[in-house]
Chain A
């Protein structure tokens, strides 16, 4: 059974940093691209970033470029999202999701339960 378990969310002041983690199990982690998708309270879904299966390529939405960094440790089966210079508009539940193969976008076959990030003073 595929499982994705996020952690690291919380309340943080604007301008500060937070690092999210996602532990994967139930599939060959190093075979798949991985992504972060967020959902602001009572809002829709918004893709944040994707990292290729080998960690060599990363993709970001424009609003987080230069502030967020996605990374992975295939040996430990962990996905990370380092979030710096946080803004109130980054407030959302952040889901880790299993992406596809290769260097093109894909559907998200499996999702974690999410971790809530609240940016407020």
Chain B
């Protein structure tokens, strides 16, 4: 199975700041990577697919980048509604696997 290592596990930042979350795959996943946001008590919501494509309705302050085994999610101008957990997922091969998650809080 492809292992997804996500960092950091938790993150605290101020409103208006930029934050970056990293995800490393155990092998090349050829941009087969998605990012999800999960607000407390809610189901996950797709943010990014194909490493850098924004899902319908997702604010443009979210962006994804990367290639090979290294990927990142950037949130510009942090808003209060961005407080959530974030997960990466590879879908290059079965079984699809997720990173351990990053919990984002406001400072």
Binding site for B on A (CB under 8 A): 44-47, 50, 59, 61-62, 95, 104-114
Q: Mark B77-107, 1 if CB is under 8 A from A, else 0.
A: 0000000000101011111111111000000
Residues of B within 8 A of A109 (CB): 46, 49, 55
Contact B49 A46, beta carbon cutoff 8 Å: no
A interface SS class: loop
Q: How far, in whole Å, are A107 and B42 apart by their CA atoms in the complex? A: 18
Count residues of chain B with CB under 8 A from any CB of chain A: 24
Known interface pairs A95-B43, A107-B34; A44-B101 also in contact (CB < 8 Å): yes
| 10 sampled A-B residue pairs with Cβ under 8 A | A44-B100, A45-B36, A45-B89, A45-B101, A46-B98, A59-B95, A61-B95, A105-B32, A109-B55, A110-B46
Residues of A within 8 A of B36 (CB): 45, 108
Contact A108 B95, beta carbon cutoff 8 Å: no
Residues of B within 8 A of A50 (CB): 96
Q: How far, in whole Å, are A45 and B101 apart by their CA atoms in the complex? A: 8
CB distance from A1 to the nearest CB of B (A): 11
Contact A105 B96, beta carbon cutoff 8 Å: yes
- Name B98's closest neighbour in chain A (CB-CB): A45
B44 at the interface (CB under 8 A from A): yes
Residues of A within 8 A of B89 (CB): 45, 107-108
Partner of A59, one of B43, B92, B94: B94
Contact A105 B101, beta carbon cutoff 8 Å: no
